[in-house]
A = this chain, B = another copy of it.
Amino acid sequence: MQYGFGIDVGGTTVKLAFFDRLGSLLDKWEIPTVTENHGGQILPDIAISINNYLAEKSIPREKIIGIGIAVPGPVNNNGIVNRCTNLGWGVFHIAEALSQLVDFPVTACNDATAAALGECWKGGGEGYQNLLLVTLGTGVGGGIVLDGKPLYGARGAAGEIGHIVLNREEPRLCTCGKYDCAEQYCSATGIVRTAKQILSECPQESLLRNETVLSCKAVFDAAAQKDSVAIRIVEQVYSDLAELIADICNTLDPEVVVIGGGVSKAGPMLLEGIHRYLPQYIFHAISDVKLALATLGNDAGAYGAFKLVLDKFYNE
C-alpha cells in the first residue's frame, strides 16, 4: 500500500492527516501555526512534523506518493500563493518551497477549494462530479469542483462567494470594505446580526430575549422549539441563503450544493428551509439541484488536499 499526507493550514493550528492510497484517514494530529516572522516557520514546522511521523512509525519514504497542502488564501494551479494575510505570507511558490523541505512531491490549493474536493470525494457530495461547497462559519467561504477537478480561478480566488452582493435594502458594511456581502447575512455572525435586528424591531416574547450573548445556535434551537420570533429570523436566513446559492447555481449549474461550517450543525431543518426559498431565486432548469450537509467537518480540507496528491502524482 502507498500513502500520503493531506495538510490544512489554519490561522491557529495546522492540521496534518495521513491517508492510505484508497483515502482512508489513518492518523491525524495538529501543530500550532507560528505566524511570527511573516509565517516563515510554518513550512519548516510541517516538514519536521512529517519527518518525525515517518520515523516514529518506521514508514519507508518510497511508500509516500506526495503531500497536499491547503492554505487560507488564494493559490493558483501552479502552486503559487498570492498573500495569506492571517499567516503573514506574501507571494511565493508554496508547492516548490515545501517540496524542497520534505523531498516529496507537493501540490497546493486554497483551503475552501480543498474542502470542496474533499466533500466531493468522501463527504456530503460523494458520487457527484460537479459541486459547490458553501461554508457557513465566522465568514462565508466557497469551493467549487467541476468535472471532478477543483476550480482555482485565474488568481486562485475562485469561490469567493462570501462577497457576492445580496438583495437587501438595509446596508451592512463587510470587513472587505464593500456593502451587503453575503457574509454579512449568511455567516454565523451575520445570522446573529439579523437576529438582533428582528428582535429589536418586534415586541413579541421570545426565548432569545433570555440569552445574554446571542448565538447562531440559540436562534436555530429556539426555532426548532417553535419560538415564533426565532422562526421569523431563520426564515429570513433561509431566504438569504437561497438567494446566494441560486445566484451561484445560475452561473455554474452544479449537481449538488454541500453546506458546511458551524451553521450547518442546524442540520436538515436548514436544508429544508433553503429548499423552500430556492424557487424564488433559481433558474427553473437548475431547480432540481441537490442540497446536502457536509460530513467531513474539519477534516474536509485535508481530504481534499490528499485527493489532489492522488490526482497529480499517483499512477496506477
Query: Which residues does A use to contact B, with CB under 8 Å?
Result: 74, 82, 130, 142, 144, 146, 151-161, 163-169, 176-180, 243, 246-248, 250-255, 280-286, 289
Contact = CB atoms under 8 A, between A and B. Distances in A.
A157 B180 CA distance: 27
B161 A251 contact: yes
Given A154-B130, A156-B253, A168 B165 contact: no
Given A153-B130, A169-B169, A158 B253 contact: yes
B167 A166 contact: yes
Copies of the polypeptide in the assembly? 2
Given A130-B153, A167-B180, A178-B283, 5 more contacts: A146-B146, A165-B247, A165-B281, A178-B280, A251-B252
A71 B142 CA distance: 31
A234 B103 CA distance: 57
B253 A284 contact: no
A245 to B, nearest CB: 11
A111 to B, nearest CB: 15
A165 B243 contact: yes
A279 to B, nearest CB: 8
B176 A283 contact: yes
A115 to B, nearest CB: 16
A167 B240 CA distance: 12
Residue with the highest number of chain B CB atoms closer than 10 Å, among A152, A177, A178: A178
A166 B167 CA distance: 6
B253 A251 contact: no
Contact of A251 (B74, B130, B144): B144
A252 B167 contact: no
